[in-house]
Chains A and B, each alone.
Chain A
């Protein structure tokens, strides 16, 4: 049974049992998978993911985002992780996306990998930077789960939030809601610990 995050002289600590750690690790991997470019045809400029021409890399650009067919992600969860930066101007939003999307994917994937590594042990001890990465990873997990659960407004949030009893779970959506609420609880305890330390 999980024990909440708290701020201690050693850092931000929490305790998670192996089932909870396996669950979280799986979720971090799922979200990293959503972010892995190349499986989205809209982003495939020819080069496989991870093989960026060194010259492009040198100038911090990705040829895939500068290819003619480049477009915003069509998958709703992926789009929630990588939102438009300009409202009501698709051209401006796409231009910003060309310049920033690759580094945003990398930053999020880095957070998710760091968070997964922190789960190697049941007794988590995180410094502020690692705690912040963990919070970002938990948040991205919640964004993806919320998209899968079709969570659109406060009423949806309330309905999903009421699903906290594992014995009442009857279908996949209810299981996802239970998982969502666990991740929400864990993130909330981490945020209270981080806020208390500011």
Chain B
């Protein structure tokens, strides 16, 4: 029989607010990955237009890194895994960091 004690105390749900904080995916420059390859990955994985993909690719190349995607922690972690499968140097962090 279900009783009221099965309900989580209010305090235990507070840490779940972390899920609402947006995360960002950064791609870092390296001298190996071809510009054409990076642009192709941005277009095919994220569905970006040619103009947007090329602009992000140039930002990586010239500034050393670029924020390529923003979203929930779960989504960004999956994007990082995809970027690593492609061999791109990607990291993730909370949007309000650095």
Contacts and interface: CB of A to CB of B under 8 A. Distances in A.
Contacts, number: 76
Interface of B: 26, 31-34, 36-37, 39-40, 43-44, 50, 77, 80-81, 84-87, 89-93
Q: Which 7 A-B pairs have the closest CB atoms?
A: A191-B36, A157-B31, A139-B87, A146-B32, A107-B85, A87-B91, A85-B80
A104 B81 contact: yes
A39 to B, nearest CB: 21
B87 A81 contact: yes
Contact of A86 (B43, B44, B92): B92
A64 interface: no
Contacts of B32: 142-143, 146, 151, 157
Q: Is the interface of A mostly helix, strand, loop or mixed?
A: helix
Given A84-B91, A188-B34, 4 more contacts: A82-B84, A192-B36, A194-B44, A195-B36
A152 interface: yes
Nearest to A147: B32
Contacts of A81: 87
Contacts of A143: 32, 87
A83 B81 CA distance: 10
A85 B44 contact: no
Nearest to A138: B37
Contacts of B80: 85, 96
Interface in A119-170: 132, 135-136, 139-140, 142-143, 146, 151-154, 156-157
Contacts of B87: 81, 136, 139-140, 143
B76 to A, nearest CB: 10
Number of chain A interface residues as a range: 35 or more
Given A87-B91, A100-B81, A153 B86 contact: no
Given A104-B85, A108-B85, A135 B37 contact: yes
Contact of A154 (B31, B50, B91): B31
Contacts of A83: 84, 89-91
Contacts of B85: 104, 107-108, 111, 136
Residue among A111, A142, A191 having the largest count of chain B Cβ atoms under 10 Å? A191
B93 A191 contact: no
